């Protein structure tokens, strides 16, 4: 299986602001075309992989009536998908969610050896950084928002050479850039 990262970032490369907040990534960017792209992207199937913090945020939102009303296809897909959580402390309770046991890189390496529709990491910056360092990420799908944060956390903890695979711009100013590691 292939491992894909899906992450919203600012134009200056941060996935959280200096205080750890990600609310900026979802504020005030209504665009029907972008919404349809997100829904289509979410319907790919496969395994979703989260860190503990992102899992808790996703479960808290996608299981609500508001989420179902706003984006019914995405909410349905999120609940139906197999979800793995990289955590030593939390016992997941969301439908089809389980804890990823053992060493993160070793567990993901074993998953990638299986047949399937792929693994997508949503958010989960520290998980992304660890998997990137281990050379396990096949694709980075980055939604670049037209906003500079000035400070925050980045996905990369060391230099990574990437090659552009695809790009798409939306009227709201978001640009989706898809990269693969250079071989």
Domain extents for the chain?
3-175
Look at residue 29 in the predicted model and tell me its pLDDT.
64
**pLDDT tens digits, 20-44:** 888 888 765 678 888 888 777 776 7
Look at residue 6 in the predicted model and tell me its pLDDT.
93
CA–CA gap between residue 3 and residue 86 (Å, rounded): 15
- pTM for the whole thing? 0.90
Instruction: Establish how many alpha carbons lie within 13 A of residue 50's alpha carbon, considering only the half-sphere containing its beta carbon.
Output: 22
Stretches where the chain sits below pLDDT 70 are 27-29, 43
Look at residue 23 in the predicted model and tell me its pLDDT.
85
Instruction: Establish how many alpha carbons lie within 13 A of residue 74's alpha carbon, considering only the half-sphere containing its beta carbon.
Output: 19
Instruction: Establish how many alpha carbons lie within 13 A of residue 64's alpha carbon, considering only the half-sphere containing its beta carbon.
Output: 9
Instruction: Kindly provide the b/e burial profile for residues 23-35, where b requires at least 16 CB atoms within 10 angstroms of the residue's own CB.
Output: ebbeeebeeeebb
Look at residue 48 in the predicted model and tell me its pLDDT.
95
Q: What angle do CA 174, 85, 76 make, to 5 degrees?
A: 60
Look at residue 91 in the predicted model and tell me its pLDDT.
95
Look at residue 27 in the predicted model and tell me its pLDDT.
67
For 3-175, CATH number out of 3.30.450.20, 3.40.50.1000, 3.40.430.10, 3.40.250.10 equals: 3.40.430.10
Mention every residue, 6+ apart, whose C-beta is less than 8 A from residue 35. 71
Look at residue 28 in the predicted model and tell me its pLDDT.
58
Look at residue 31 in the predicted model and tell me its pLDDT.
84
Question: Hey, is 105 helix, strand or coil?
Answer: helix
Instruction: Enumerate the β-bridge partners of residue 49.
Output: 84, 121
Look at residue 72 in the predicted model and tell me its pLDDT.
87
């Amino acid at each position: 299986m292939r491992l894909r990262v899906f992450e919203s970032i600012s134009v200056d490369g941060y996935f959280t602001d200096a205080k750890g907040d990600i609310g900026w990534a979802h504020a005030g960017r209504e665009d029907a075309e972008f919404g349809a792209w997100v829904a289509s992207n979410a319907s790919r199937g496969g395994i979703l992989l989260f860190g503990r913090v992102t899992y808790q945020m996703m479960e808290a939102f996608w299981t609500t009536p508001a989420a179902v009303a706003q984006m019914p296809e995405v909410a349905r897909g999120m609940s139906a998908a197999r979800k793995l959580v990289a955590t030593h402390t939390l016992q997941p309770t969301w439908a089809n969610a389980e804890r990823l046991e053992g060493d993160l890189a070793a567990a993901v390496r074993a998953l990638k050896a299986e047949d399937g529709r792929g693994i997508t990491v949503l958010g989960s910056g520290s998980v992304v950084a660890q998997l990137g360092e281990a050379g396990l990420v096949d694709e980075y799908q980055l939604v670049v928002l037209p906003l500079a944060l000035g400070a925050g956390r980045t996905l990369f903890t060391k230099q990574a050479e990437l090659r552009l695979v695809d790009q798409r711009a939306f009227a709201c100013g978001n640009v989706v850039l898809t990269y693969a590691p250079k071989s």
